[in-house]
């Protein structure tokens, strides 16, 4: 009996101590990830140059802080099972690269997979979770993007819980980015396990499209956020995937709409372009501090779709200090004319006529809520208005 009681107490104590690191990702993480632009064509020179560019272009000052190396950095395991970086791509070693990123005042993210192999056939972490977490901690990693390929019959919640516990035992605080594609509704269980969770299949570089393997365009991803905003908040964020801004397909209008809606959702903002060579226009879209402030508002409340008129949607987001944001999204590729009264009550939030209105893309004031908002919104574009009490 005493032995059984002791075993029960041990199990209870272990379960109490098993947790994620709290105090991380109080605001949605911002940074850069290698996959959208480079896929497997990565190496330490590219990552170092990206870190330099993040500082030089002003993106670091705007809030982008994580540099994440996605799939294909790993090549195998040594005789003891330790994960190995590809020496041809990372001859200086991963610890040296992490130190370089840290020297720029940035944070380092790395990629692994909950299955036996990553999506590109490299070693996954299944069966090596605690060993890999110790390795990442030793290197100084700040974020782990944890994918869901080659998982067989694994249970998603249990698999991600193992890695959460492994990170905690390793002793180094890391943001755990659950990349489970929304298949098992991670918004229902992810808050106790990770700091962000993917809500959809992979984004693809288009505004309005999808493909046969499940990849989705910007509009298709937006549609999947309508019902799940309430699960997101400080320390636990819905993640509609990385940004395709600056990758040569989206128009400027579409890029504005992309980052505006991600900011309305209080989503992680993870750039995926070659920021070493981006245009001034792309830089302007990525670093619009008025828009980024909406993403990082202290309340961390995801937007609600308030109105839908055909191809025009109006999204509403409450902010700190009793301020609000309305984002008019024109899904059509044709211009749309608006004449909209913003005075309303939405979910116990009351918008009356006592608010100044500011266009956060034009950086100019636009009257007050006493008057209707009038104008034309170009195709695949947004009108994003911040309301501040007079």
Active site (catalytic) residues: 147, 202
DSSP letter at 186 equals: G
| Rounded Cα gap, residues 89 and 334, in angstroms | 46
Two tokens, residue 48: 């170092």
Name the 3-class secondary structure at 309. Answer: strand
Tokens of 9: 């107490």
How far is the C-alpha of 248 from the C-alpha of 137, rounded, in Å?
36
Instruction: Give how far the C-alpha of residue 120 lies from the chain's centroid of Cα atoms, to the nearest Å.
Output: 21
Sheet with strand 237-239: strands edge to edge: 237-239, 196-198, 175-178, 143-147, 107-113, 66-69, 30-33, 269-271
- Give the dihedral sign, CA 43/48/51/52: negative
The C-alpha torsion from 76 through 77 and 83 to 86, rounded to 10°, is -40
Strands 382-389 and 324-330: antiparallel
- Residue spans of alpha helices (H) in the chain: 2-17, 35-38, 44-56, 59-62, 94-103, 129-139, 156-170, 218-223, 252-264, 280-286, 289-295
């Amino acid at each position: 009996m005493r032995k059984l009681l002791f075993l029960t107490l041990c199990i209870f104590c272990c379960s109490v101590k098993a947790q994620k690191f709290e105090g991380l990702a109080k605001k949605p993480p911002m940074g850069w990830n290698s996959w959208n632009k480079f896929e497997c064509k990565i190496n330490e020179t590219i990552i170092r140059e990206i870190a330099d560019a993040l500082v030089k272009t002003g993106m670091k000052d705007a809030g982008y802080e994580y540099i994440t190396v996605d799939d294909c950095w790993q090549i195998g395991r040594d005789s003891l099972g330790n994960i190995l970086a590809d020496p041809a791509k990372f001859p200086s070693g991963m610890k040296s690269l992490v130190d370089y990123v840290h020297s720029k005042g940035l944070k380092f993210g790395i990629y692994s997979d909950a299955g036996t192999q990553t999506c590109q056939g490299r070693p996954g972490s299944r069966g090596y979770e605690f060993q890999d977490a110790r390795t990442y901690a030793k290197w100084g990693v700040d974020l782990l993007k944890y994918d869901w390929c080659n998982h067989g019959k694994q249970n998603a919640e249990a698999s991600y819980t193992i890695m959460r516990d492994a990170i905690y035992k390793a002793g180094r605080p890391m943001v755990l980015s659950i990349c489970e594609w929304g298949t098992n509704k991670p918004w229902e269980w992810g808050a106790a396990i990770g700091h962000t969770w993917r809500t959809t299949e992979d984004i693809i570089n288009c505004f309005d499209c999808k493909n046969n393997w499940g990849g989705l365009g910007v509009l298709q991803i937006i549609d999947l956020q309508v019902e799940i905003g309430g699960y997101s908040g400080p320390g636990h964020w819905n993640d509609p995937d990385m940004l395709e801004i600056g990758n040569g397909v989206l128009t400027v209008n579409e890029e504005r709409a992309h980052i505006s809606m991600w900011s309305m959702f209080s989503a992680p903002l993870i750039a995926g372009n070659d920021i070493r060579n981006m245009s001034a226009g792309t830089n302007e879209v990525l670093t619009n501090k008025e828009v980024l402030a909406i993403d990082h508002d202290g309340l961390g409340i995801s937007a609600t779709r308030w109105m839908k008129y055909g191809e025009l949607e109006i999204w509403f987001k409450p902010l700190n200090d009793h301020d609000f944001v309305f984002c008019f999204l024109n899904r059509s590729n044709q211009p749309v004319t608006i004449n909209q009264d913003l005075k309303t009550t939405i979910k116990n939030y009351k918008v009356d006529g006592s608010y100044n209105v500011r266009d956060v893309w034009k950086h100019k004031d636009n009257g007050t809520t006493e008057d209707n908002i009038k104008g034309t919104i170009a195709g695949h574009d947004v009108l994003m208005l911040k309301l501040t009490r007079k």
